[in-house]
Structure 1
Amino acid sequence: MHYRQDIIEVFSTFAQLEADRFRKWLTDPKLRRSIKKCLEHTPEASNAEIFWGIYWHKHWQNQSHSLAKMHLSAYLQEPCYWAAEKTVAKFTNNQYSLADHFQLANAEVENILKGFKPEISNNLQAYAQMAIPTRLRDILRQRKEADGCTNWALLRKVSKKQVLASLSHAGLSPAMIAQHRLAWCCFKELYIQNQAGGNSKLPEPNRQLWEDVANLYNSERLNQLTQQTPQSSPDIIEQWLTRTAIYLRAYLYPPMDSLDALKSKNDYNIIWDLPDPSSDSLIADILAQEDAQNSQNKLSQINDVLLKALHECNPQSQEILKLYYQQELTQQDIIKQLQISQPTVSRRLIKARESLLAALINWSQETLNISLTSNQIKDMSNVLEEWLRTDYSQFNLISQSS
């Protein structure tokens, strides 16, 4: 099985960083044993990484193998690292290091696996290369915005779903969650009413506001809370909401622990229950659906299709797309630079995206024989947006330097 050594390494090793630089690959013995067992039981399977990426993704989807996510995390180490390095270079005033970005990227693996659609593209690593940089940029913008927020501004902008999730994550009892939720609802209603405009630098709540919030809470608790609770004072309400803001920050923007720390020797000797990974039906299913060797060209075909569709757009639309996606200008910046109206910019962006999506859908139907549902079209639209923000920008930069 020596000729399959590359597959073993790809799905069982993790990158170690030191002094904010890549140092070496660390092999996880339990993953190594797992992938070797797979290869021994499936000699007919392909040697292509794409094939085994789909294999483990199907196991992850079906929850039929306890190590599937770990194998996929190992597989996506390189996309995570390169996305982190690219983001560090782009966000020069960023407070986070390369190791921090790498940690953030690894934390997004679960979301990447959820967003990947094998029926649209069978190359998980190529999808991750497009999706991870986009997710990192969004996370950094959110963190920057949150870091500049007071507790009260943060409480004002979050949703009820986020509040409930953060309170539950903090371990509060259902009764306490209900009380904190109601206090937040009362605060949000009164704090917004008492402010003028959309100023993000809101003043500190004064004593009168806390008294008003407490009065509203004590009135609403009789109808809103299922359990009988005593009245709450303004000081108690302020304490609850301060804690709620702390819980929200911890839930939405958890602190980043170092991934670089060397594990102790015992960490590599954990006994894992390794289910039989041979799964003949799964292997047969993948082999029947995908020819891994032929499908490696799909990504380049998609690039060709989208670039051709881009060239067919009118010159003004092409210019707007470049400014919006490559230079990351806002619509207001584009209006000033091109001296055109806001409706024109918005309309050009929408029509250009629609043209590109139509080209991608037509290619999928004609080349892949896929009959797309509305949900699949929505997923494809997300893939298009990621392509515009990553591959399209890179292509233009490469073209200009050639």
Structure 2
Amino acid sequence: MRPRQQITELFSTFLQFEADRFDRWIADARLRRRMQQLEQTKQVPTSEQFWALYWYKHWQVANLGMDESQVRMKAENPHQQARLHLAAYLQEPCYWAAQQTVRKFTDLHYRLADCFQIAVAEVPVVLKGYNPERGASLKTYAGMAFSSVLRDALRQRQVVDLSTGWSLLRRTSKKRLLEALHQAGLAETTIAPYRLAWICFNQLYVPAAPGERLPKPDPAFWDAVAQLYNQERHQLVPPGPAVQAATIERWLTQMANWVRSYLYPAVGSLNMPKFSEEATEVQDTLADPTSDSLLTELIEAEESDDRSRQQAKLNQTLTTALSQLDSQSQDILRLYYQQGKTQQQIMQEMAISQASVSRRLSKAREKLLTALVQWGQSLNIAPTPALIKDMSTALDEWLNARYQMNGTAPST
């Protein structure tokens, strides 16, 4: 894959696949124009990290204290368009996370392009978990986060893909069911009978013995669910009419489809025509950000120089600790973080036991984490359990950036 170099290109182009392989970068006209205007009008030195933090701050303003439905209602907010710039910026870590996942999951039913689309849909989740105060860059953190959310999403997807609608309803929590019904646009008065039907379904759709497979619902089963629903409908306000088995089956089938759509919505495109406006595209309505406050704040922040110095010291501390590891431990780290190999694969390549691989990997990370904690103590930072957990995450981010992103082993 050809890496992007120019700032404008980094924040305005999207990856295009051809036959499950990288084909080229596609520019979004609106995003490109906005970046060019900002670079021309702001007479300040710019860098990739600067603009990543700039757009992240805009995204934070747009999403602070709002749930998903409110975020969608604010889609025309200028700050909200930062998400599109950040989605463009994070294309590379998303691609590498997808490629690494495909390589690790030998029985995966999804192709590279599929995994990429699943991962890129999780950009809001990645952004929500990012904390620039921890010192890691957004791209480094995203490389770790995409791998994690993609693995979780794939495991859940493969369970759902192999599940019937009835099994899916059986596994769904009440909270997720209600979220799916709200997303489907149902009113509260309509949701209540659907919810009761689901409760009645779950009471009856259970195995007769532990471990026994659930059968496909038959007419007698739907009659039983309808009978239970009619007995319990007095809980509703108003109770509503009695229903037939066919109605119950139709409701449950609809709910299964809504839950599936809620869990895994289709990934849209910026170039998708707007509803009832085939002559325009979604991207044609994106507004330009007009506020200078965040940019000025970033430029004039007094702590930026100090943060850069501390980050340089941290990098030197970990580099020194890494160089003091024995050569075999360094080789294991390189194979694990740079080449994305599993412990089983490392064992075969290095001709040592898997227990030795696991032990050396843990010991190496422990030594690096110790160096990280000692660095924090030099700044009068007490190593609390929560902080050590954060430092462990930061260490993984640093190792990924050190090995995986540049594709070369660190110099010692």
TM-score past 0.5 threshold = yes
Q: Residues of 2 paired with 1:239 and 1:298: CA distance?
A: 63
Which of 254, 264, 275 is the matching residue for 2:265?
A: 254
Residues 98 and 115 of structure 2 are in contact (CA less than 8 Å); yes or no, is this contact kept in structure 1?
A: yes
Aligned pair 1:117/2:116, yes or no?
A: no
User: TM-score scaled to structure 1, two decimals?
Assistant: 0.73
Aligned to 1:59: 58
Distance 1:66 1:155, change over 3 A: closer
Distance 1:173 1:188, change over 3 A: same
Q: Residues of 2 paired with 1:180 and 1:310: CA distance?
A: 60
Aligned positions of 1:136-215 closer than 5 A: 136-192=150-206, 194-199=207-212, 201-215=213-227
Q: Residues of 2 paired with 1:162 and 1:50: CA distance?
A: 37
Aligned to 1:315: none
Post-superposition offset of 1:174: 1.6
Post-superposition offset of 1:383: 5.7
Post-superposition offset of 1:136: 1.3
Distance 1:172 1:18, change over 3 A: same
Q: Secondary structure at the match of 1:15?
A: strand
| Unaligned segments of structure 1, at least 5 residues | 312-317, 330-337, 341-347
Aligned to 2:88: 74
Residues 14 and 26 of structure 2 are in contact (CA less than 8 Å); yes or no, is this contact kept in structure 1?
A: yes
Letter in 2 for 1:327: T
Aligned to 1:283: 298
Letter in 2 for 1:57: Y
Post-superposition offset of 1:301: 6.1
Residues 50 and 292 of structure 1 are in contact (CA less than 8 Å); yes or no, is this contact kept in structure 2?
A: no
Post-superposition offset of 1:304: 5.5
Which of 249, 262, 269 is the matching residue for 1:238?
A: 249
Letter in 2 for 1:62: V
Distance 1:91 1:242, change over 3 A: same
Q: Secondary structure at the match of 2:241?
A: coil
Residues 83 and 132 of structure 1 are in contact (CA less than 8 Å); yes or no, is this contact kept in structure 2?
A: yes
Percent identity, please: 42
Residues 14 and 25 of structure 1 are in contact (CA less than 8 Å); yes or no, is this contact kept in structure 2?
A: yes
Q: Residues of 1 paired with 2:232 and 2:389: CA distance?
A: 41
Aligned pair 1:366/2:377, yes or no?
A: yes
Letter in 1 for 2:250: Q
Aligned positions of 1:286-301 closer than 5 A: 286=301, 288-289=303-304, 294=309, 297=312, 300=315
Q: Secondary structure at the match of 1:105?
A: helix
Aligned positions of 1:331-350 closer than 5 A: none
Q: Secondary structure at the match of 2:46?
A: coil
Aligned pair 1:226/2:237, yes or no?
A: yes
Distance 1:206 1:23, change over 3 A: closer
Aligned to 1:107: 121
Q: Residues of 2 paired with 1:306 and 1:226: CA distance?
A: 66
Letter in 2 for 1:209: F
Q: Secondary structure at the match of 1:65?
A: helix
Post-superposition offset of 1:23: 2.2
Post-superposition offset of 1:128: 0.5
Residues 11 and 35 of structure 2 are in contact (CA less than 8 Å); yes or no, is this contact kept in structure 1?
A: yes
| Unaligned segments of structure 2, at least 5 residues | 63-77, 327-332, 345-352
Residues 112 and 131 of structure 1 are in contact (CA less than 8 Å); yes or no, is this contact kept in structure 2?
A: yes
Post-superposition offset of 1:240: 1.1
Letter in 2 for 1:247: W
Residues 83 and 133 of structure 1 are in contact (CA less than 8 Å); yes or no, is this contact kept in structure 2?
A: yes
Distance 1:27 1:369, change over 3 A: farther
User: TM-score scaled to structure 2, two decimals?
Assistant: 0.71
Q: Secondary structure at the match of 1:270?
A: helix
Distance 1:384 1:178, change over 3 A: farther
Aligned positions of 1:367-386 closer than 5 A: none
Post-superposition offset of 1:139: 1.2
Distance 1:393 1:151, change over 3 A: farther
RMSD of aligned Cα (Å): 4.5
Higher relative CO (Cα under 8 Å, sequence separation at least 6) belongs to 1
Post-superposition offset of 1:99: 2.1
Aligned length: 366
Post-superposition offset of 1:109: 0.7
Distance 1:86 1:210, change over 3 A: same
Q: Residues of 2 paired with 1:182 and 1:393: CA distance?
A: 53
Distance 1:33 1:288, change over 3 A: farther
Residues 134 and 394 of structure 2 are in contact (CA less than 8 Å); yes or no, is this contact kept in structure 1?
A: no
When structure 1 is superposed on structure 2, of 10-19 and 111-120 the one drifting more is 10-19
When structure 1 is superposed on structure 2, of 238-247 and 296-305 the one drifting more is 296-305
Aligned positions of 1:3-82 closer than 5 A: 6-44=6-44, 46-63=45-62, 65-82=79-96
Q: Residues of 1 paired with 2:245 and 2:114: CA distance?
A: 40
Q: Residues of 2 paired with 1:352 and 1:159: CA distance?
A: 40
When structure 1 is superposed on structure 2, of 355-364 and 136-145 the one drifting more is 355-364
Distance 1:43 1:165, change over 3 A: same
Residues 73 and 106 of structure 1 are in contact (CA less than 8 Å); yes or no, is this contact kept in structure 2?
A: yes
